[in-house]
Amino acid sequence: MGQRPDWTSDFPYRDWFSVVELGPGTHLISEPVHVNSYLIEGSERAVLLDTGLGLADIRKIAEGLSGKPLRVVNSHYHFDHSGGNRWFQEIAIHRSGATLLATPPPEDLAAAYMDYVHRLHADWVTYRELDDRYFRLLTGELYVRPLPEGFADEDFEILPSQATTLLDEGDVIDLGDRRLRVLHTPGHSPDSICLFEERSGMLFTGDTLSAGAIYAHAEDADVGSFARSTARLAGMAADVRRVFVCHFLRYESPASFLRAVGEGFERVLAGEAPLRPSIDFLGAPVVEACFEAFSIFLPAGWDPAVAGGGRGPG
């Protein structure tokens, strides 16, 4: 492990979670750069869409924002969206994710993630300096946070959890005066869902969309079903006003983003997307299809000529 610069001595943003009110009863609870969770509150009940890394108690934050009975919905089973499930009793996930959620993750994943955290923190120092000097895109709620006081690498545990409710396509989550519809959008993972509030036009996409790298390369991903899911979302664009994603700093996009990503996947399958070699956050090699406001990570060895809408040969 390389030297770790101390950038925290007079750093004003120390809370691990960054909270942004997105509208009445709707909050972003983010672990900036790592992952975004969303608190959606109705007149009777509230839903926390995803629980983050589990590095700090997200339940306390959610309960501080909403006094309503709170249940968790996981957008999919991945550890960075379900890490805080440990603090909740009621957990809903798409039917196809229950077993995956309850399965212990690979043993070395927690350590690999902490390596990533330290790389991120080292590079953040430079990134912030450059932003201060030239660009001024960063605002406080986007700032990377130091690890919580006293938190050691060994404290980061990835725990399996048990779903108490199984969700299906078309289910409606009734919060009283608000209703969230479950859209099953497999591709990033078999159990990926989006939540859509028709009245406000808010769409919460989990990892099915990302204003950054869209991960379509992992073992549990499937590029063909990913393309079908994003085409479906593109078809809904007229009814959507605001799109909220779970990774990178641009957490909100306009509805036109749905069409852009749908077209991006079409171009990938047609072999028309510009490709370059890249690596994912854990350093694994991927093929990256590059577009204007996002990119798509494809399996290493991806060859559109033989992919035929499924996985590459790699």
Instruction: Tell me the closest approach of the beta carbon of residue 75 to Zn ion, in angstroms.
Output: 8
Q: Which residue minimizes CB distance to Zn ion?
A: 78
Positions in 34-93 near Zn ion (CB under 5 A): 78
Of 19-27, 100-108, 199-207, 266-274: span binding Zn ion (CB under 5 A): 199-207
Instruction: Tell me the closest approach of the beta carbon of residue 289 to Zn ion, in angstroms.
Output: 18
Question: Tell me, what amino acid is at 9?
Answer: S
Q: If we measure between CA atoms, which residue out of 160, 299, 285 comes closest to residue 226? A: 299
Checking 259-262 for CB contacts under 8 A at 24+ apart, the result is 259/234, 260/291, 260/292, 260/293, 260/294, 261/209, 261/214, 261/230, 261/233, 261/234, 261/294, 262/230, 262/231, 262/233, 262/234, 262/235
Instruction: Tell me the closest approach of the beta carbon of residue 78 to Zn ion, in angstroms.
Output: 4
Of 33-41, 113-121, 207-215, 224-232: span binding Zn ion (CB under 5 A): 207-215
Pair of tokens at residue 237: 């664009």
Q: Per-residue DSSP letters for 176-189?
A: SS-EEEEEE--SSS
Residue closer to Zn ion by CB (options 182, 213) is: 213
Instruction: Tell me the closest approach of the beta carbon of residue 52 to Zn ion, in angstroms.
Output: 12
Of 154-162, 167-175, 202-210, 265-273: span binding Zn ion (CB under 5 A): 202-210
Pair of tokens at residue 166: 């199984």
Residue closer to Zn ion by CB (options 83, 264) is: 83
Asked whether 101 and 82 are in contact (CB, 8 A), the reply is yes
Instruction: Tell me the closest approach of the beta carbon of residue 221 to Zn ion, in angstroms.
Output: 9
Residue closer to Zn ion by CB (options 26, 192) is: 192
User: Quick check: 207 binds Zn ion (CB under 5 A)?
Assistant: yes
Q: What order do you get walking across the sheet with 213-215 strand by strand?
A: 213-215, 295-299, 285-290, 275-279
Query: What is the per-residue binding string for Zn ion in 126-165, x denoting contact by CB under 5 A?
Result: ----------------------------------------
Residue closer to Zn ion by CB (options 171, 207) is: 207
User: Quick check: 191 binds Zn ion (CB under 5 A)?
Assistant: no
Size of the site for Zn ion (CB under 5 A): 2
- For 155-269, where are the E strands, in sequence order? 165-167, 172-174, 179-184, 193-197, 202-204, 213-215, 242-244, 252-254
Interface residues with Zn ion (CB under 5 A)? Answer: 78, 207
